[in-house]
Amino acid sequence: PPSKYINSLPYFKAALLRQAQPKWDTGVTATIVQANYDYIDSLTGILVALASYYSQKQFGNQTPQEYFSDVIASRFQWYRTILEPHGPGGTIVNVICSGSVLEDTENMIEDMVRALAGYNDEFDWENWSKRWRGEKI
């Protein structure tokens, strides 16, 4: 895959976070959850773009969009299952659940990038993950 694209992803993620942060800061549950959904949708776009560097066979009979939609939906189901062991847990569960899926989706991108970059010397091995996670370099 193009190293420039991969190396640009931490900057793109930072821009997405800047866009979402004011909504997260409202403290309004519905607004926070919607910001999480919007952020997850944007991250899904990155996953689909990265999928173009994989064989279509990797996704079975599905398009990458369908594949990642199913994977992410299963993560929502997983977190709902474990967060609501006795039935509906209130609106805060939506915040926790979507936040957990958000983190999983970020991790999926990191996993794909590391697999795709392989041993490419143009890939910033030392700092890419730190930049992706927003850590100081």
For residue 8, pLDDT over 80 is answered with: yes
Determine the 3-state secondary structure of 125 from DSSP. Answer: coil
pLDDT digits (tens, 9 = 90+) for 33-86: 999 999 999 999 999 999 999 999 999 999 999 999 999 999 999 999 999 999
Cα separation, 127 vs 118, whole angstroms: 15
Residue 57 CB neighbours (<10 A): 7
Q: What is the dihedral of CA 85, 90, 92, 94, to 10 degrees?
A: 70
